[in-house]
Chain A
Amino acid sequence: MNCRSGFFIFLLGLLVVMPVSAAKPIVMGGAGADLATFRLLSEAFKKHQPDSQIKFLPSIGSGGAVRGVSSGRVDIGLMARPLNKEEKQYALTEIHYADTALVYVVAKGHPVKDIDTATLKALYRGEPVAHALKLILRPKLDSDTLLLEEKLPDLRPALTLAFERKGVPVGMTDQLTIDLLLGTENAISTSSLSLVISEQRPLQVLSLNGVKPGIESLSDRSYPLIKKLFMVHDGTLTDPERQFVEFVFTAEGSAILKRTGHIPVASQQ
């Protein structure tokens, strides 16, 4: 697409959308990992665009984001993974805006500070581990689970066993998982570093095989569980929506992301 035609379309869009957009809020929803971060971003955005209205759906996951966007019920979807093959048929636009770490968390103050792969295998197999840690799984097709399988392939058999075991609790959303974890003694589960930071829940992030997840370890790739975060839309952004997307990539937006445990894409470039 060249600049002239793009601009023409943009002007046409303004003429058509403007009166409507003033009344219609931007509906955002998707993976729970960055919902809190995007609330922070939306609040910062509203300062620049006071008329803008942004509505956040509860955590509907990355798949929900795709379905919401493709069905028009979500304007900007948040995904903790890229579009898969099936999702790409909807001709959506995905925008990689930051990375964060997939982290293992326990309740704050728990004696466990670090966890290694062997312990994780034992934990997923249901074998006894130190401090009697209790595993809380994420859904099988959740982006966290998919990422673990991708980044820690040695863990796949143990993961499969864990899903076959009876009684292992599953946290349906990021937020519900944290709630479940905090309500369960010695519970351990996965979450996102961005969520831990932005939602400020009493959690304790564990280092993996001695590597503590953080901006540094994400930047130098020493921490293996890097979660890519995307915004997705149907290609027909309204101004506010577009402005919001652009805001995420602004310095202010990037700062918020960094502050909440992200490595913004802008900074990567």
Chain B
Amino acid sequence: MTQADTESGLLGIPGVLKRLSAALAVLIVVLPPLGYWIVSYQHESRHLEQSAELIAHAISKTAYLYPDEWDLQVARLEHLVEEFRPRNLKASVSVFDNAGHVLIPRQGQPFSLQISADSFIHSNDGVVGRVVLEESMVDIVYTIIAIGLICLVLASGLLGAINYYSIRGIQKATLEINQTHKDLHRQQMYLDGVLSSSRNVAIIATDKEWVIQYYNDAAERLFGRPGHAALGTSLYDLHDGLRKILEENRKIGQLAGDGGEHSLILNEKRDNQTRYIEVRPATITAPQHDLSGYTLMCTDVTEQRNIADIIQRQATYDSLTDLPNRRLFKDQLDKALATGKRHNHLGAVLFLDLDNFKNINDSLGHSVGDALLQEVAKRLKSSLRDEDTVARLGGDEFVALLPEISDDPDEVINGVQKLADKLRQTLAMPYAIEHHTLHVTSSIGIAVFPTGEEGPDDVMRQADTAMYRAKEAGRNTLKFFLPGMQRAAEEKLKVLGDLRQGIGQSEFLAYFQPQFDAGLALVGAETLIRWQHPERGLILPNEFIPLAEESGLILELGDCVLEAALESLRNWVSDGIVSPAFRVSVNISPLQFKQANFVHNVEYMIGNAGLESMGLTLEVTEGMLLDDIESAVEKILALKKVGVRFSIDDFGTGYSSLAYLKSLPVDEIKIDRSFVRDAIHNNSDAALVETIVNLASRLNLETTAEGVETKELYDYLKQLGCNTYQGYLFSKPLSWEDFQSFLKSQQHLAV
């Protein structure tokens, strides 16, 4: 029923009520007076009849006694009439003889509206006369009129009340129904809006027979069928694929039946593109049984699927080389291990690392390095079988998986060695990249599997270990993994554990090696780190720094050293042992320098140390600066504002272009000990040292020579114009306590 129907129905009710109430009012007005009239008339008629009979009976006695004279006995008749008429009888009584003569005339004038009754007078001879009683009905009429008026008033009141309350009630009910209609309509519009607002979610509702009952705009777009064409049709007819899923798998019925949240993927090809539609069926559980059915929420998830595929690929493939990454490789290796064990076949993992790739990257830039890696990947891929897997683990590390080569170990080793050699040769061929012709060699570690119950990590670690051995063996070579290698690897792991523990136990100590100017005045010290191992004793940095850098522990170690240097400097200055111009230099690792919060971290530690004047020099390497020169310049400039000096450590050992020097706001060049050591005896080193000192001088940079071990060397360097000297000639690195003593003893020399 529509709202209009309801309203028209309701609007008709007042008319019916009016007619009913009018009929009721008429009945109220008519029935009581009519009833009163009927009852009164009957009552009066009977009363009159009984009275007439009574009187006639009394007169009849006289007539019986005096049949000839009864009619003459007027006084007697009148008395009889008076005596036998009921006291409450208002009627006029008249008596007639048979001839119609009036024996007792009626009293008063005849009534215009009257009721009458008569009764015969009998004598022994039969009827001799009659008694006639007449009574006016005027009083009854007046009473009826009065009752009628009262009823009229009551009926009018009732009519008014019914009309007022009923119409008001109906109007109120109509208003409420209208309001409810409006609310429902608004709610429906709202829900339609909500459902239609799901632009990307096609919502289809069906009855229990899968006939479509609801079909939103998104469904029109998704299935390409307009709503008017879809509504009322079977869901099976909407889409072939959907029908196939429903019919073959019968999953929707089952899934919808259990009310769970499951989804089905519907493949649809449109415009030669595969689209994926996620279909989520659900049961409509409506209180009204005829409203129950199913809803299907369909979403085009093609884009998500594509993104997921990309993400999946990114998660398992190396973006630079498009080779599988470590994760995928491990999965493949895991499978290969299982298959190998099952088939009793041997396979191998080749761990490849490019020799000196870091130098290429540092000197020619990342783009060249990346291109080189891509080319290496291509060469590796093209050199292997289809069933083999080559992956890039990161940096210049590649691995190749050769599953199920053979069940014969010798054949496997020979075959793998041949292949590895072929790879090494292939990789060693020149690369033409960005106008550069590059020559790269590789070190290859080989692990054969399965040899026991090893897992993929074990196999990769073995290959890695073998690769390091190959590196140690002089690079551009290949090594098979041997059990001893594993022990070394385990040793490395133990050292790493000790390293972590040592940091926690504060086993790392700051050592200071004094630095002198040309006049042999003590002007500063380089802060060096030593590990006071509880079992192995004092360990030099070259034994643990590479591992610390590899594991990232260098960050904590670096902070420790920097903190110790700053604290010591503050104490020395405050104790008056050194002048405020005294310099303390600290080596910064590449990982530290790359940190986004490096500047903030250093500033914080400087502030925390409470230094009034700044004598801190941070030593960085060329590679660190050139990795991202803009960022490096930015960081250096930021720290120079708070008085920090920068020194380029190990200058000349890299493959850097000298052009960068002019753009770097550094203060000092530290000449690597490898050049200084043989400068007196080796012309090449002497030329390099001279060049470096001259270069620094021309660029207004100070120079510090390290590894000054002899007086001759000092003199030579002094003659060249080197500014600062450091080496065993003056002092070996000293512990804090020893340096404290050294300072005191050299106080006259300290700046």
Please give the residue numbers on chain A whose beta carbons come within 8 Å of chain B beta carbons, in ascending order.
Answer: 29, 57-68, 71, 73-74, 139-143, 163, 170, 172-173
Contacts and interface: CB of A to CB of B under 8 A. Distances in A.
Interface stretch (B69-77, B122-130, B205-213, B635-643): B69-77
A248 to B, nearest CB: 22
A112 to B, nearest CB: 26
Contact of B69 (A57, A66, A140, A141): A57
B83 interface: yes
Contact of A63 (B62, B66, B68, B75): B75
Interface of B: 62, 66, 68-69, 71-76, 78-79, 82-83, 101, 103
B111 to A, nearest CB: 22
B79 A140 contact: yes
A172 B79 contact: yes
A144 to B, nearest CB: 10
A64 B79 contact: no
A66 B69 CA distance: 12
A73 B72 contact: yes
B128 to A, nearest CB: 14
Most buried by B among A61, A62, A74, A163: A61
Contact of A29 (B72, B78, B79, B103): B72
Nearest to A62: B75
A172 B66 contact: no
A141 B75 contact: yes
A58 B65 CA distance: 10
30 contacts: A60-B66, A60-B69, A60-B76, A61-B72, A61-B73, A63-B72, A63-B73, A63-B74, A63-B75, A64-B69, A64-B73, A64-B75, A64-B76, A66-B74, A67-B72, A68-B72, A71-B101, A73-B72, A139-B75, A139-B78, A140-B78, A141-B74, A141-B75, A142-B75, A142-B79, A163-B82, A170-B79, A172-B76, A173-B73, A173-B76
B57 to A, nearest CB: 15
Contacts of B83: 170
A194 to B, nearest CB: 18
Most buried by A among B66, B75, B82: B75
Contacts of B68: 57
Contact of A139 (B69, B72, B76, B103): B76
B78 A141 contact: yes
For the complex of A and B, list the 6 residue pairs with the smallest distance between their C-beta atoms, beginning with the closest: A63-B74, A139-B79, A64-B72, A61-B75, A60-B72, A68-B72
A74 B76 contact: no
Contacts of B79: 139-142, 170, 172
Contacts of B73: 59-61, 63-64, 172-173
A173 B70 CA distance: 12
Nearest to B79: A139
B75 A67 contact: no
A73 to B, nearest CB: 7
Given A61-B75, A67-B74, 18 more contacts: A29-B72, A58-B69, A60-B72, A60-B73, A61-B72, A61-B73, A63-B73, A63-B78, A66-B74, A71-B72, A71-B101, A73-B72, A74-B72, A140-B82, A141-B79, A170-B79, A170-B83, A172-B62
Nearest to B82: A140
A58 B101 CA distance: 21
B77 to A, nearest CB: 9
Most buried by B among A29, A73, A74, A139: A139
Contacts of A141: 74-75, 78-79
B104 to A, nearest CB: 10
A16 to B, nearest CB: 27
A163 B78 CA distance: 13
B75 A58 contact: no
A61 B66 contact: no
Nearest to B105: A86
A141 B74 CA distance: 9
Contacts of A71: 72, 101
A32 to B, nearest CB: 10
B108 to A, nearest CB: 15
A65 to B, nearest CB: 8
A267 to B, nearest CB: 29
Contact of A61 (B74, B82, B101, B103): B74
B75 to A, nearest CB: 4
Contact of A57 (B62, B72, B82): B72
A221 B361 CA distance: 182
Contacts of A64: 69, 72-76
Given A140-B82, A141-B78, A58 B66 contact: yes
Nearest to A145: B75
Nearest to B71: A67
A68 B68 CA distance: 11
A189 to B, nearest CB: 14
B417 to A, nearest CB: 160
Contacts of B75: 61-64, 139, 141-143
Contacts of A163: 82
A156 B73 CA distance: 24
Contacts of B66: 58, 60
B421 to A, nearest CB: 162
Contacts of B62: 172
A143 B74 CA distance: 12
A135 B296 CA distance: 116
Nearest to A173: B76
B469 to A, nearest CB: 157
Contacts of B101: 71
A59 B73 CA distance: 8
A62 B72 CA distance: 9
A143 B71 CA distance: 18
Contacts of A61: 72-76
Most buried by B among A57, A63, A142: A63
Contacts of B69: 29, 57-58, 60, 64, 68
Nearest to B78: A141
A140 B74 CA distance: 11
B123 to A, nearest CB: 14
A96 B556 CA distance: 173
A176 to B, nearest CB: 9
Nearest to A66: B74
A247 B76 CA distance: 30
Contacts of A66: 74
B55 to A, nearest CB: 15
Contacts of A170: 79, 83
B17 to A, nearest CB: 58
A229 B69 CA distance: 21
A162 to B, nearest CB: 13
Nearest to B83: A170
A142 B73 CA distance: 10
Nearest to B99: A71
A143 B78 CA distance: 13
Nearest to A146: B75
A170 B62 CA distance: 14
Most buried by B among A73, A142, A143, A172: A172
Most buried by A among B72, B76, B83: B72
A61 B66 CA distance: 13
Nearest to A63: B74
A60 B82 CA distance: 17
A67 B105 CA distance: 13
Contacts of A65: 72
A140 B75 CA distance: 8
A158 to B, nearest CB: 18
Nearest to B80: A172
B562 to A, nearest CB: 145
A55 B602 CA distance: 175
A141 B76 CA distance: 8
Contacts of A62: 75
A250 to B, nearest CB: 28
B105 to A, nearest CB: 9
